[in-house]
Each structure stands twice: as structure tokens, then as C-alpha cells.
């Protein structure tokens, strides 16, 4: 096999029997043994045994919803946008998603994908999750445009946008997250290699996050590159609120139990931001920098920003142009969708300025009803716009999860 990459496109068509002839049976056997050694607890995790907690954790792949959405945020991520080849139609998409599903299932269990040498790269699952999302182009290729939810299209153009083709759009999006960078890299490499007969990589965006719960004075969210605690007002795992905001309930049948995903690559002007004083930085958002506590807390909830509070002068304590006030609008306090963003840092950009910012990720049941109104308000007025610029944008529909014999997107494609 060496030197001759095997097209998985043909392997799938020929069934798994062909793999035995390629010497894969042995590797699969070893791997299967290892998976059995690793007990998976009912909550989908396994106890760590790599010495460092977490590296041996397994997040269950199969389930009603895809993993990587309501999953506790891992520290490393890659977002991969792929374009389908011109000759790919519905039958090929079934094959492609069968491969993606099988490969993702094995990788998340710490096993190499079928046909790959057992190099050890896959052996550290580190809470790996692979989440697949379908762009408008995938439904078109399948001849199933009429099954698309109305929001599955490019977002409306916003005044703040400076979108680059290079970071925007995708027929298929794979979100790969784990608590280990090498695990993420290996998963991306394995997954994209597995489907290269069907789809070409258009972009890869790598991200990182440090949960603020790891810092002193526990709080939720992660620390973004402006130094802010990001993700405070977010639905918590295993709550009715998350279920209601995130999972599609009354959309197209094939998408029930799935969700909508928006990925915006937002460049952040770190140099200019760093020139501001602490007071200006905190007023731009409405929360303190150190731990994200509100500038003025609501009387009944110390975590909630009191937007009604006034200074003795009569001016609003949380300024009219602050990010939190604009993002919340006139609605009641509380989350409007799930944010699961990562930082990125690609070093000095072409202009010599740091190419760093946020891979801003939202999961919601209805992109038009939940995400777009917030983005419109922020587009009209938000002081953060002075230091942030969206340069990439993609919207995908994330199908529900599947069982051990199924594949992702089966309800749509099969």
C-alpha cells in the first residue's frame, strides 16, 4: 500500500471486504481490542488513564444529537470548509457521509481510521468530537434544495463585513475539537483524506480556547484575545433552555434534533485595543475584564448586567453603545443562542498587523430568527465594531446524530 493512497471512494463502493486484502484487518483488530479496554461511562466520558487527566477521555459519538455542540468546550479546534467535486450527486454523498461517520466514530474512540497505519497518532482521543454541517451547496448537489431550512443561505450583507472569499462559504463543514492539538491535526488529516475523492478542502481555521474555569475565581466561558471572559450569557449544558435554543424542533423532518451553525471569522485589532485604558475597555462591553462580572449587577442576579442602572448624573451606567446592551436588545435577560467560539492567531498578517481574533461560533435552531436580529443590531451600533472586523462567514445545517449503524445526514440523503 505504501506510496499508493487508496481512494476511500472506491473502498466504500466495494464494501469493507476489500480492506482485508489491503492488510487492514490486523490493525482494525488491535484497535477494536483497545476500544473495549476503555469503559465509556453513561455520560459519554471515560476515566482518564494517560497520567494527565483528560487525554484518554472519550465523548460518545453516537446519539440523538451530534457531539461537539452541547459538549463542554475543548481547548483546541479546527474548522474545515470543503467544496464538493462537480460530479458528486446524492449517491456519492451517501458514500461520503458513510466514510465521514465511520472515520469520525473510530477517531473519537482513539482508533485509527480504516486503512490507516496504527501510528499512535489516533491513540489519544482527548474528548475529540467531529461535528458535520451541510451548506446550501450540498443540498443542491443532492437535488434536495427544497428540503433546506429557509435560513440555509449566506447571511445578509452587514455594513461591518469585509468578507474574504478565502474564509467564506462551504458545502461541507467539519468542526473538529479536542483537548489536544495533535489529536485535532490527525483527525483533520484522516477525515479529509478519507473523502478526498468527493470533496476538496477550501479552508482550515485553527482555534484555541482556555476555559476561564481553569483560572482563579471560577467563571464560565473562555478568555478571548481582548482579555475578556467570553461566553458568560450562554445556555448551560443539560438544560431545557439549551434544548429550546439549539435543537431544531419544527424545521424540516431530516433536521429535527439537529441545529443551525454560524461561523464568523472576526479579526480583532489587538494593537489598538491595547492602547485603551481599563475603563474604556470595560465600558465597551459592559462587564469587568478580570472575571466578566457586570459593571452594575442586577439586584436579583449578581451575574446579570443591570441595563436600567443610572449614574447620579442621569446617564446610563452601561453605555448605549456597549456590546452587551446592543447584543441583548430590548428582550429579557438571558441567552438567545449558544456561543462556542475559539481564538485564532495566525501571526503577522500581510499588513504587518497581527492576524488574530475570534472564530465566532453560534449554534441555534433558527439562524434567521435568533442570530440575524442580534447581528443586525450590532451592525447598527456596537462600540466593539471599532476593533473587530468580520472577514469570513459561513452558515450550515448540522444534521442530528445517528446510531451505531447509521450515518450523519441519513434522514436527508438515504
By CB under 6 A, name the binding residues for ligand HEM. Answer: 221, 224, 226, 228-233, 264, 266, 268, 285, 287, 292, 305, 323-324, 327-328, 336, 357-358, 360, 374-375, 378, 384, 388
| Catalytic position from the list 83, 103, 179, 230 | 230
How many separate helices (H) and strands (E) can be counted in the chain?
12, 13
267/407 with CB nearer ligand HEM? 267
123/356 with CB nearer ligand HEM? 356
Q: Cβ(255)–Cβ(397) under 8 Å?
A: yes
Helix boundaries (H) for 38-89: none
Closest distance of CB 307 from ligand HEM, Å: 9
Q: Cβ(411)–Cβ(254) under 8 Å?
A: yes
Closest distance of CB 285 from ligand HEM, Å: 5
136/228 with CB nearer ligand HEM? 228
62/304 with CB nearer ligand HEM? 304
Distance linking the first and last C-alpha atoms of the chain = 32
Catalytic residue flag (residue 271):
no
Closest distance of CB 42 from ligand HEM, Å: 31
- What is the distance between the alpha carbons of residues 292 and 341, in angstroms, rounded to a whole number? 16
Among the listed residues 383, 190, 379, the one whose alpha carbon sits nearest the alpha carbon of residue 285: 383
Closest distance of CB 289 from ligand HEM, Å: 9
Closest distance of CB 219 from ligand HEM, Å: 10
Residues 6+ apart with CB under 8 A from 252: 147, 148, 149
- Going by the DSSP 8-state scheme, the letter that residue 171 receives in this structure is S
Closest distance of CB 335 from ligand HEM, Å: 7
- What is the distance between the alpha carbons of residues 143 and 163, in angstroms, rounded to a whole number? 28
67/364 with CB nearer ligand HEM? 364
CB count in 10 Å sphere of residue 25:
13
132/378 with CB nearer ligand HEM? 378
Kindly state the cell numbers that stand for 278.
481599563
> φ, ψ for residue 27 (rounded to 5)?
-60, -40
Burial 194-210 (b: 16+ CB within 10 A, else e): bbbbbbebbbebbbbbe
Which residues are part of the catalytic machinery? 230
Amino acid at each position: 500500500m505504501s506510496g499508493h493512497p487508496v481512494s476511500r471512494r472506491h473502498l466504500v463502493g466495494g464494501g469493507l471486504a476489500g480492506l482485508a486484502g489491503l492488510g487492514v484487518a490486523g490493525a482494525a483488530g488491535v484497535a477494536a481490542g483497545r476500544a473495549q479496554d476503555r469503559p465509556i461511562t453513561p455520560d459519554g466520558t471515560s476515566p482518564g488513564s494517560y497520567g494527565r487527566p483528560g487525554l484518554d477521555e472519550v465523548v460518545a459519538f453516537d446519539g440523538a444529537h451530534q457531539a461537539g455542540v452541547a459538549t463542554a468546550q475543548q481547548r483546541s479546534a479546527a474548522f474545515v470548509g470543503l467544496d464538493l467535486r462537480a460530479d458528486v450527486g446524492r449517491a456519492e454523498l451517501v458514500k461520503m457521509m458513510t466514510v465521514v461517520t465511520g472515520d469520525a466514530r473510530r477517531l473519537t474512540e482513539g482508533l485509527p481510521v480504516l486503512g490507516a497505519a496504527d501510528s499512535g497518532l489516533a491513540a489519544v482521543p482527548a474528548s475529540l468530537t467531529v461535528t458535520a454541517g451541510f451548506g446550501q451547496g450540498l443540498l443542491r448537489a443532492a437535488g434536495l434544495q427544497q428540503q433546506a431550512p429557509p435560513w440555509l443561505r449566506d447571511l445578509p450583507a452587514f455594513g461591518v463585513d469585509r468578507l474574504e472569499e478565502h474564509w467564506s462559504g462551504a458545502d461541507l463543514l467539519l468542526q473538529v475539537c479536542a483537548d489536544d492539538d495533535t489529536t485535532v491535526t490527525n483527525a483533520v488529516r484522516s477525515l479529509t483524506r478519507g473523502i478526498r475523492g468527493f470533496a476538496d478542502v477550501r479552508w482550515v481555521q485553527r482555534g484555541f480556547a482556555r476555559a476561564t474555569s481553569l483560572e482563579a475565581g471560577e467563571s464560565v466561558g473562555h478568555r478571548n484575545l481582548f482579555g475578556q471572559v467570553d461566553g458568560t450569557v450562554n445556555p448551560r449544558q443539560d438544560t431545557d433552555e439549551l434544548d429550546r435554543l439549539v435543537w431544531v424542533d419544527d424545521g424540516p423532518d431530516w433536521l429535527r434534533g439537529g441545529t443551525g451553525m454560524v461561523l464568523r471569522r472576526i479579526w480583532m485589532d489587538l494593537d489598538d485595543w491595547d492602547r485603551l485604558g481599563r475603563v474604556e475597555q470595560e465600558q465597551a462591553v459592559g462587564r469587568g475584564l478580570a472575571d466578566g462580572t457586570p459593571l452594575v449587577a442586577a439586584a436579583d442576579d449578581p451575574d446579570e448586567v443591570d441595563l436600567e442602572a443610572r449614574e447620579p448624573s442621569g446617564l446610563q451606567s452601561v453605555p448605549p453603545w456597549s456590546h452587551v446592551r446592543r447584543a441583548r436588545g430590548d428582550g429579557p435577560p438571558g441567552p438567545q443562542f449558544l456561543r462556542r467560539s475559539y481564538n485564532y492567531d495566525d501571526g503577522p498578517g500581510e499588513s504587518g498587523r497581527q492576524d488574530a481574533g475570534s472564530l465566532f461560533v453560534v449554534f441555534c435552531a433558527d439562524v434567521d430568527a435568533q442570530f440575524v436580529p442580534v447581528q443586525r443590531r450590532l451592525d447598527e451600533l456596537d462600540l466593539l465594531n471599532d476593533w473587530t472586523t468580520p472577514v469570513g462567514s459561513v452558515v450550515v445545517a448540522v444534521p442530528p446524530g445517528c446510531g451505531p449503524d447509521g450515518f450523519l445526514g441519513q434522514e436527508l440523503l438515504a
